[in-house]
Amino acid sequence: MPLNAPLLLALTLLGSDTKRIDLRVQEPTGYPGNPSTLATPLRQDIDRVELERNADGTYRMALHAEKGAPAIDSIELRSFVPRIPALARGNATLERLALMQREFNRNETRCELADGVALKVANNCLRGGLWEVMTERKLSDGKTALDFHAWLPFPEDLYGELFREVNGRDLAPVRADLMKYPDFAGFAVPLEALRTVERVEPLSDLRLHAAEKPIAFGEQQRKHKLLLTPGIETYADFYAGAKQPIATAKFNEPGFYDSADPMRFDLTWLAHPVSAVLRHVKGVADPIQMQEVEIVYENGRRLILGDSTLATLPARSELPTKDAETLRATFGICTPEIYASAAERAAEYAAPRAGYLLLLDKDGKNLDNHMIGIDRAFVFREKGAKDRLNLLLVGYERITTVSRVSVELP
């Protein structure tokens, strides 16, 4: 991918509490696979970001240019660093799984500034230390467009300090799992250390909505061009043997979509869900009440979603039109929401929602959902004579929904 500046790894100390990080700026016309709406030419005059710690532990973040570069007086950088959630504490396997999924899922926060300008900061999903900064502005037609995008190497010493603050322990023992793509598969997930089962109810009328057109929310609409397999009209097309493997653009370092280096997935297994069950459970390390739904597939794979808000989902008479109208679940244990406003991120950081999303094999061992081609689930309750719980499975990098499966609730 052509870029207008080299990646500079130099980190300059400007004072005891201030760091300067040189930026790698996206070229003026953007890159071919960029799914964002762009206000081109993208700004080229911002060359660095400066971080200065505030007395309360937050940071002042300032982008630097000769004139007109935005700044945030207070941003909570600790919310971008993987944190061991209460549900996983005390079990080494659960803690490791939670930390890995938190680092290898995008964590992006939008901060509104003056005059319709917004500054976005992201710890992207590729490995520890790969971060992004972006600015957006309003266009004359009222739409919002990206007018600056850069990648930065977040300093590992600061990452380690923040990790210690949020977890009360050093980064070193888990560094290898966070600084490069780890081994997600092959280890048993101790569900008994995660939650205790208080009651089980079988779920009936399991439906696969194979003939339907895939639901596309805003992100999936923007990323439609990144689905490289032609002729996908229904969910059944994702499962058809003749269309395997399903191909999408790959998200490559430092953080861009590349259709010339595609990812490929065999999704035929999604055509064969065979059973579903609802469990009423309680967390072990964090004794919170949750509901858990498990879908079992013909090849033995088990999709398990538990959440403290699952029982209170409102029943809808129409399909959702925005992902915000669903319960959004990301793989792992209490993995933060992918995209959030500054206020939403602060609330999530102060009181994270208890929940988990797991993909296991028939022996209870973890599967690498990302490499299998499933990254999220959107859940909603459908109103009817008997309400139905719907799970929309979202594919690699949230490019498209790939399956809708529903069950009748007791």
- How do the domains of the chain map onto residue ranges? 11-178, 191-408
Tokens matching residue 168: 């009360």
d(CA 23, CA 88): 35
Looking at per-residue pLDDT, the higher value among 371 and 141 belongs to 371
pLDDT of residue 115: 85
Please write the tens of the pLDDT for every residue from 49-102: 999 999 999 999 999 998 888 999 999 999 999 999 999 999 999 999 999 999
Helix (H) or strand (E) holding 235: helix 235-239
Per-residue pLDDT at 364 exceeds 90: yes
The per-residue pLDDT for 15 is: 43
Asked if the model's pLDDT at residue 3 lies above 50, the reply is no
Does 4 score more than 60 pLDDT? no
DSSP character string of 313-348: PPEESS--SSGGGSEEEESEESPPPSEEEHHHHHHH
Mean pLDDT of 24-41: 96
* Distance separating alpha carbons of residues 312 and 326, to the nearest angstrom: 12
Q: Cα dihedral angle (79, 82, 83, 85), rounded to 10 degrees?
A: 110
Which 3 state secondary structure label does DSSP give 306? strand
Arithmetic mean of pLDDT, 313-340: 98
- pLDDT of residue 371 exceeding 80: yes
Nearest to 125 by CA among 307, 347, 375, 395: 375
Q: What percent of the chain shows pLDDT beyond 70?
A: 96
What local confidence, expressed as pLDDT, does residue 17 receive?
A: 67
**372 within 8 A of 303, measured Cβ to Cβ:** no
Cite the DSSP H helix spans in 268-409.
342-350, 369-372
pLDDT mean over 256-282: 98
pLDDT-derived band at 13, boundaries 50, 70, 90 = very low
pLDDT greater than 70 at residue 403: yes
pLDDT at 286 over 90: yes
pLDDT digits (tens, 9 = 90+) for 198-230: 999 999 999 999 999 999 999 999 999 999 999
Query: 14 pLDDT exceeds 70?
Result: no
Q: Above pLDDT 90, what percent of the chain?
A: 92
Mean pLDDT for the chain overall:
94
User: Does residue 234 register a pLDDT over 90?
Assistant: yes
Angstrom distance (rounded) from CA 9 to CA 129: 11
Contact (Cβ atoms closer than 8 angstroms) between residue 88 and residue 98: yes
Question: What is residue 190's predicted lDDT score, i.e. its pLDDT?
Answer: 98
- Tell me the H-state helices in 78-234: 92-103, 156-167, 175-178, 191-194, 218-222
Residue 10: both structure tokens together: 């130099």
Peptide bond into 41 cis (omega under 30): yes
Tell me the C-alpha distance between 57 and 214, whole Å.
44
pLDDT value for 93: 98
pLDDT at 272: 98
Count of alpha carbons within 13 Å of 85, Cβ hemisphere only?
28
For residue 187, is pLDDT > 50? yes
Mean pLDDT calculated for residue range 355-362: 98
Quick: pLDDT tens for 240-258: 999 999 999 999 999 999 9
Q: Name the amino acid, one letter, at 179.
A: M
Q: Has residue 10 got a pLDDT over 70?
A: no
Which whole number is the average pLDDT over 320-343? 98
